[in-house]
Amino acid sequence: MKCAVIVFPASNCDRDAHDAIMHVTGTPPQMVWHGDSEVPDVDLIVLPGGFSYGDYLRCGAMAAHSRIMTDIRRKAGEGVAVLGICNGFQILTEAGLLPGTLMRNAGLKFVCRPVELVVDESQSLFTRNYSRGERVTFPVAHGEGNYFASDDVLDRLEAEGRVAFRYAEGENPNGSARNIAGILNEKRNVLGLMPHPERACDPLLGSVSGRAMFQSLLEKLS
Amino acid sequence: MRARVFVTLKPGVLDPQGKAIGHALNSLGFKSVGDVRQGKVIDLELAETDREKASASLRDMCEKLLANTVIEKYDIELRS
């Protein structure tokens, strides 16, 4: 599986993503600068966490218009797998590749802790090695992770099995609608989620439940 | 031409920051304060003299970047 991790100014989980991919797949991803016009020919593009462009205007709003995004939009349309984690999820919604948006946490505080999630959909490239209803623990670290969309959009996401992860009952750290933590696009090749699977791939970091996501991708895309 | 764009949350969208400001004002003794909503003001200079064209261009800017129309609405004020 060939992977690329996009590096924006003030991305700060790009190296975590690099290490997790390296750890699970054995092959280092290519690190691609946001100002490049083309992503190399890869099977998976990762938009990492961080504070791209200092979160100016709105989280992800500037990055969504950076040069590399034109090619990412095109490749996503062609079916290349795209994984947006945390700020990467915010960028995907701002770019219109995923519906809805991520608002200020309902509690107004930056939340940084492990949270329990429920896998709500295992029929995807990203989640096929999990089982539906399985509980996993990924860390979250964000101030704007409060998923919001109109009721019509939320109903549609649920009806089409596009809610990949939800916060477990009582664990919702940010006020997200219907406890949504991660969603798929219509073609199911784009996943955005606020929690960090790449920070849950090494026992030293307290959880290895993120590995199955990269293994799922590796098995499907190799 | 100069323009001012107001970006605010749509009615019905929860605004925890506005709520917090309201609580703070109440605790400072401003007891008459009810609902508070927070937004952004963006001032721009445009190399444009035609008001119609300026408005159209500003609306386009708002739709594409300045506002996230999933949750925000915008108002444009031209100041020549």
Report how far Cα B19 is from the mean position of its chain's Cα atoms: 17
pLDDT exceeding 70 applies to what percent of chain B?
A: 100
Residue of B nearest to A146 (CA): B14
User: How far is B41 from chain A, CA to nearest CA, in Å?
Assistant: 11
* pLDDT in the model for residue A141: 98
- In terms of CATH architecture, what is A3-221? 3-Layer(aba) Sandwich (3.40)
pLDDT band at B80 (very low <50, low <70, confident <90, very high): confident
Question: For A149, which of B17, B20, B70 is closest by C-beta distance?
Answer: B70
The structural domain count of chain B equals: 1
ipTM comes to 0.86
Query: Domain limits of chain A?
Result: 3-221
What's the start-to-end Cα distance of chain B, in Å?
A: 5
Give the catalytic positions of A in this structure.
86, 196, 198
Amino acid A136 reads: V
User: How far is B66 from chain A, CA to nearest CA, in Å?
Assistant: 7
Quick check: B13 contacting A, CB < 8 Å? yes
pLDDT exceeding 90 applies to what percent of chain B?
A: 92
Residues of B in contact with A150 (CB under 8 A): 70
Mutate to test the interface with A, among B19, B60, B70 (most CBs of A within 10 A): B70
Residues sharing a CB contact under 8 Å with residue A143, sequence separation 6 or more, in sequence order: A104, A105, A109, A110, A111
The predicted model gives B11-21 an average pLDDT of 91
* pLDDT in the model for residue A101: 97
H-helix segments, chain B: 16-27, 51-61
* pLDDT in the model for residue B40: 97
Q: Cβ–Cβ of B71/A103 closer than 8 Å?
A: yes
- Parent domain of B33: 2-79
Amino acid A29 reads: P
Q: List the CATH number of the domain containing B10.
A: 3.30.1280.10
* pLDDT in the model for residue B23: 94
* pLDDT in the model for residue A39: 97
Enter the DSSP assignment of A174. Answer: S
Residues sharing a CB contact under 8 Å with residue B67, sequence separation 6 or more, in sequence order: B7, B73, B74
Calpha distance A2→A14 (Å, rounded): 16
The predicted model gives B49-60 an average pLDDT of 96
Decide if A196 contacts A141 (C-beta within 8 A). Answer: yes
CA angle A83, A5, A118 (to 5 degrees): 30
Decide if A82 contacts A98 (C-beta within 8 A). Answer: no
- Residues of chain A with confidence (pLDDT) below 70: none
* pLDDT in the model for residue A222: 85
Q: DSSP readout, A40-84? A: -S-SEEEE--B-GGGG-SSTTTTGGGSTHHHHHHHHHHHT-EEEE
Calpha distance A221→B17 (Å, rounded): 43
User: How far is B1 from chain A, CA to nearest CA, in Å?
Assistant: 23
Residues of B in contact with A65 (CB under 8 A): 65
The predicted model gives B33-46 an average pLDDT of 96
How many Cβ pairs closer than 8 A exist between chain A and B?
31
Residues of A in contact with B65 (CB under 8 A): 57, 61, 65
Calpha distance A26→A11 (Å, rounded): 23
Question: For chain B, what is the radius of gyration of the CA atoms?
Answer: 16
